[in-house]
Amino acid sequence: MKVRLECPKDLPELLRIYAAAREAMRRSGNPTQWGNNRPSQETLEEDIRLGRLYALEAGERLVGAFVFFQGPEPSYEAIDGHWLNLEPYSVIHRIASDGSQRGVLARCLAWCEGQTKNLRIDTHRDNRVMRHLLEKNGFIPCGTILAEDGTPRIAYQKA
């Protein structure tokens, strides 16, 4: 799978990918993390404008997407727990797959680790699939943060 920056023309495919990811989360017992409409089209447009939304391509087809940027992340300032270190870090958010290709998360993480060795990410407590995969890929749970919408998330770091 190839990683590249998203562009505005990809928006219809992004909306399809995130809709598929929401449905997969619902089926796996995590119906509230993204609800029925997150991330919103406006959020995705902003991520594209800021140059931090990336696509995963398999052949000519988009199969996944994620946000990657250099910290700081405001919601990571207060943690009920402890980060592994306080060094500069990069952030991964909004990883999504359309379910057509295995290994989307692993490819995303490998690409991000190629950019920096100090990564932070968070997920909803009910997102057991993501929690398992993060820990399988060497991320350590560090505590609980409050997401932008005020809901608690388990915070992970790999350094």
Q: Supply the range of the domain harboring residue 102.
A: 2-158
Mean per-residue pLDDT, 20-46? 91
What CATH number is associated with residue 26? 3.40.630.30
- 53 neighbors 65 (Cβ within 8 angstroms): yes
Considering its fold, how many domains does the chain have in total? 1
Q: 């809709």: which residue's tokens?
A: 19
> What pLDDT band is residue 30 in, cutting at 50, 70 and 90?
confident
**d(Cα 29, Cα 131) in Å, to the nearest integer?**
13
> What pLDDT band is residue 32 in, cutting at 50, 70 and 90?
confident
